[in-house]
Amino acid sequence: MNQQHDIHDNPNLKRNPFKAPEGYLESLEERILSLAGIVEGEESQEDVIPSRGKWYVILKPAFVLACTFGLIFGMGYGVLRLTNTLNRPSDTDDSYYATMIEKGLIKSSFIYSIEEDLEYDDFNDEDPVFDEEEVVTWLATQYSSMELAQLYYEEK
């Protein structure tokens, strides 16, 4: 028998051999309409429902894009803020202020003692001018190299 004749004339072969899952085809229309944002049953009220606005169709992608950028920017900003906050000591942290005061006292007492020992008279409004050699000599007599290093790093 001719195969070509078989394929063309066998009605059984032209029958669709696939099945759809149970209930799939029955709910197909409803699912597609809901996908498009149309609720079945409301179609009869079509004449009172305005058709999709042209501007809405045009601006919707741009609006979604802008919102996405805004969201990404906001998240990025939030993360940066959070990171900075984590790196920076909290404003309410008492120990931080205590340390700062301590550092300030060390600095004040250090400079104060230099000012006192070197006895500068014109130390009012103008910035003091120190003789480098004199300062170095004074420091060498007053502090050990370890103490100087400690003071240097504390100030830094």
Binding site for other proteins (CB under 8 A): 3-4, 6-7, 10, 12-21, 24-25, 28-29, 31-33, 35-36, 38, 40, 42-43, 46-47, 49, 51-52, 57
Q: Which CB atom, from 26 or from 121, has the smaller least distance to other proteins?
A: 26
Spatial neighbors of 90 by CB under 8 A, at least 6 apart, are 96
CA dist 132 → 135, 136, 154 (Å)? 5, 6, 21
Residue type, 99: T
Shortest approach of other proteins to residue 7 CB, angstroms? 7
Shortest approach of other proteins to residue 9 CB, angstroms? 12
SS3 148: helix
Q: Which CB atom, from 44 or from 145, has the smaller least distance to other proteins?
A: 44
